[in-house]
Amino acid sequence: MGRWAIAVHGGAGIDPNLPVERQEQAKQLLTRCLNLGIAALRSNVSAIDVVELVVRELETDPLFNSGRGSALTENGTVEMEASIMDGTKRRCGAVSGITTVKNPISLARLVMDKSPHSYLAFSGAEEFARKQGVETVDNDYFVTEDNVGMLKLAKEANSILFDYRVPLIGCAGAAVNDSPLQMNGLPISIYAPETVGCVVVDREGRCAAGTSTGGLMNKMMGRIGDSPLIGAGTYASELCGVSCTGEGEAIIRSTLARDVSAVMEYKGVGLQEAVDYVIKHRLDEGFAGLIAVSNKGEVVCGFNSNGMFRGCATEDGFIEVAMWE
């Protein structure tokens, strides 16, 4: 029997002026989800089941950008995406363009378990959901008052907003080209995505990972980020489980999650060294973060942004919920 470990995240990149009340709300949610996963692991629930359980909880709470509370498209609607992966046999499932499924992570799990495919999107994913009998709601369920307000700011700034809940004083009237931050060479406003994810290794040494998001505020219809892409935003193998967050286009270009496993496998290094390597050498000028567990019961969080909402725990009693370095 090995040692279990778990980590959760609520996004990399945090505004230094984030109100204290919101910081505390984030910590409380991460702590609740962490304790939910810990209780399940102590009851010998499998890694893949714990990942789904914890991400569902994160999707249900509107605080972060997944499920209810997801960022809005340029048309004011929600298009969600998620992926999940079981490292034991590298089985995976992913979905994009989800508009009515209450918990996209569970639909991704069904794609893995109940379909011959690994990835379904838009109308095909919605039709599969109906056939599987999963819980669906009107798109309005996912839309919050805060998000409607932030979409208005984004449109006034003619920009994509990453942190859509922090008041952007002066942003709406500022020239977007003044921003030093870029995505695919194009200027954006500020950087603080709030994608959610969970990675777990159970006592059997089985690793699993899952990631879920609403994407970017004011994104183009049909935009797909890193979160549902196996190897980019999510990856699990017999060695480790990884969930990423941050600038999606940079994560996609670097196949960030898969690279952690590859560095461990090909260089023969441990989890900490592998995470440090990919964060330093694979993101180019992008900003991102990740959480990871190894089959030895290790847990690591790494990021090059100015913070990351995260929590982690191990069977030997270590537990931490943090935002900054």
- Given a cut of 80, is residue 160 above it in pLDDT? no
In total, the chain counts a number of residues equal to 325
Using a 10 angstrom Cβ sphere, with 0-12 exposed, 13-18 middle and 19 or more buried, the burial of residue 17 is exposed
What number is the average pLDDT over the span 253-277? Answer: 98
pTM for the model stands at 0.91
Q: With helix as H, strand as E and coil as C, how does 230-268 read? A: ECCCEEECCCEEEEEEECHHHHHHHCHHHHHHHHHHHHC
Is residue 195 annotated as part of the catalytic site, yes or no?
yes
pLDDT in tens, 83-93: 999 999 999 99
Predicted pLDDT of residue 192? 37
Using a 10 angstrom Cβ sphere, with 0-12 exposed, 13-18 middle and 19 or more buried, the burial of residue 119 is buried
Looking at every residue in the chain, the average pLDDT score rounds to 90
- Given a cut of 90, is residue 79 above it in pLDDT? yes
User: How confident is residue 156, by pLDDT bands cut at 50, 70 and 90?
Assistant: confident
pLDDT in tens, 116-142: 999 999 999 999 999 999 999 999 999
pLDDT in tens, 172-191: 333 334 444 454 454 444 33
Predicted pLDDT of residue 238? 98
Predicted pLDDT of residue 162? 53
What number is the average pLDDT over the span 256-268? Answer: 98
User: How confident is residue 194, by pLDDT bands cut at 50, 70 and 90?
Assistant: confident
- Give me the catalytic one of 195, 213, 234, 314: 195
What number is the average pLDDT over the span 54-60? Answer: 97
